Structure 1
Amino acid sequence: MKKINKEDIKQDVFDLYDDYAHNRLDRRDFVQKLSAYAVGGITVAALMSFLMPDYQDAIQVKADDPRLQSDYVTYSSIKGGGTINALLSMPVNTKKPLGGIVVVHENRGLNPYIADVARRAALAGFISIAPDALTPLGGYPGNDDEGRALQSKRDRNEMLADFIAGYDYLKNHKNCTGKVGVVGFCFGGWVANMMAVRIPDLEASVPFYGGQPASEDVPKIKAPLLLHYGELDKGVNAGWPAYEAALKQNNKEFTAYIYPNANHGFHNDTTPRYDKAAADLAWKRTIDFFSEKLS
């Protein structure tokens, strides 16, 4: 089987995967459209395998990293007396309260990549919580295809409320200073934007390629924003000009970066959309931002 290199893949293939990953294409249509790019010894099966996440080899901070205390906790869900499972991580031997970061997953539940990001945040000197909005449906099922299917069954505003409840849990944790920010990716980027709308005391919000709130909601934002977008992410980026105009009109504190030649999902190092240079820079900016705002 011919080895596939990222440089050999047309942008149209990444755009197709983006449509599939966001439920704009079902699997059958995705495979059918992908077949047009199975040329030169590259099979559809090989393309599919290349595009899917590789969680086994990409984790940066292992679950048993001795530098961290990382355990699952539960807190009350917005849904009728239920609970939400979440990964709570902090440096070992924490002697004083730390700034808190809510880490919000994409549209597929608390997968290994997001759990890894939560541990990275803790390793940077924060206490982090990464809730799994799929908990009422049994939790992240172990693969992203089933995770997306499950998440599509939940109302996104109810999930937003569950993440806000996670913010409340973290804010009141004995190892947290009470200063809490949020970082979210894709769907989680929309959640990060909306938490800034809904939570007056939120200290900082960092949406990665997240959908934008309505312009009429922008006046409610109190938290400073750090926004990350990929230049090639046409769908999400279409909403940025109106959001930027509303932020400026309402004198909100924000900084936005659009990373050249980067796709939607460029921070996710488990898929070929990953752009290491952009991801590393965006993460450094994120940690620097939280270090300033949560101190």
Structure 2
Amino acid sequence: MSTRYERIESHDGESFDAYCAVPATTPAPGILLFQEVFGVNDNMRGLAEQLAGRGYAALVPDVFWRVQRRFESKDESGLAEGMTLAQQLDHALVAKDITATFAHLLAMPECNGKVGGVGFCLGGTLAYLFATQSRVDGRGPDAVVSYYGSAISDVETGSKKIDFPMLFHYGANDPYIPQERVDEVEAAFAGHADVQVLRYDAGHAFSNWDAPSFYDKPAADLAWSRTLEFFAKHL
């Protein structure tokens, strides 16, 4: 496995960074990994490296770059600043940046042409944005996983744009996402045989080992094992 930073060209002539981890044997399926409000930090880099160790070419775009480049925080100490940055995001521009990253990954020699996506918290919302809006030459992703995306909305409309496998992970005790919201996601995708909505006896951000007050190892391990099985099946 090797790691580096890739420079992504945006639609408006600017550029931004994405952390990249690729396996020893390529070409391989690609995965876009979407950050939490803590930025592209040790947790995100570690997840990218885990994916590369499993045989995927992983790319983690810096979605905060239009507000503050390369922001990262190791733990809850950066939560307030990260939330402030997240509130300044223009989601229409973020969607374009995600599509640019998608196109970049498809063009990388290490990618075999199949691409999945996975994101956590803010990234869970961005993974849904990727699933519903990102298309390159008419094609979308092959499989997407969303962990507790608190700003996922309009799922009834969004579900009609998804014709590929998708997996949602939620904490049943999440104080930021009412279970009624999870019920709405579940209902919107009830007719999609290849979409699953899973709930865990955990709170918000339960998979983030860099945030001890949120981390729930049993739930995190179970969700990650299911995520890896999902990608192994569909990518």
Q: Structure 1 length normalisation: TM-score?
A: 0.71
Q: For residue 192 of structure 1, what is the amino acid of its counterpart?
A: A
Aligned with residue 148 of structure 2, among 185, 209, 230 = 209
**Percentage of pairs with the same residue:** 32
- In 2, distance between residues paired with 1:179 and 1:113? 24
> C-alpha distance in 1, partners of 2:8/2:23?
21
Aligned to 2:3: 70
Secondary structure of 2:141's partner? coil
1:142 and 1:256 map into 2 onto residues whose CA distance is 29
Q: How many residues align?
A: 222
CA contact (8 A) 1:85 1:131 kept: yes
Tell whether 2:123 aligns with 1:188. Answer: yes
Q: Which one of the candidate residues 199, 203, 219 is aligned to 1:258?
A: 199
SS of the residue corresponding to residue 137 of structure 1 reads coil
Going from structure 1 to structure 2, the CA distance change for 1:253 and 1:74 (only over 3 Å counts) comes to same
Structure 1: which amino acid aligns with 2:189? L
Tell me, in whole angstroms, the C-alpha distance in 1 between the residues paired with 2:148 and 2:209: 15
In 2, the alpha carbon distance for the partners of 1:133 and 1:276 equals 27
Q: Provide the alpha-carbon RMSD of the alignment.
A: 1.7
Q: Which residue of 2 aligns with 1:242?
A: 184
Structure 2 residue runs without a partner (length 5+):
none
Asked if residue 167 in structure 1 is aligned to residue 117 in structure 2, the reply is: no
Work out whether residues 86 and 131 of structure 1, in 8 Å CA contact, stay in contact via their aligned partners in 2: yes
Work out the CA distance in 1 between the residues paired with 2:176 and 2:193.
24
Q: Residue 230 of structure 2 corresponds to which residue in structure 1?
A: 289
* Contact 1:108–1:150, Cα closer than 8 Å, also in 2: no
Task: Give a deviation string over 1:73-127, Cα, whole Å, max 9, x none.
Answer: 111124x3111200111123x2x31011100001242122112111111111100
Aligned letter for 1:264? Answer: H
**Which runs of 5 or more residues in structure 1 are unaligned?**
1-67
Aligned to 2:23: 91
Aligned to 1:218: 159
1:125 matched to which residue of 2? 55
Structure whose residues are more often strand by fraction: 2
Partner of residue 100, structure 1: 30
137, 142, 162: which one aligns with 2:67: 137
Higher Cα radius of gyration: 1
Does the CA-based 8 Å contact 1:202-1:222 persist in structure 2? no
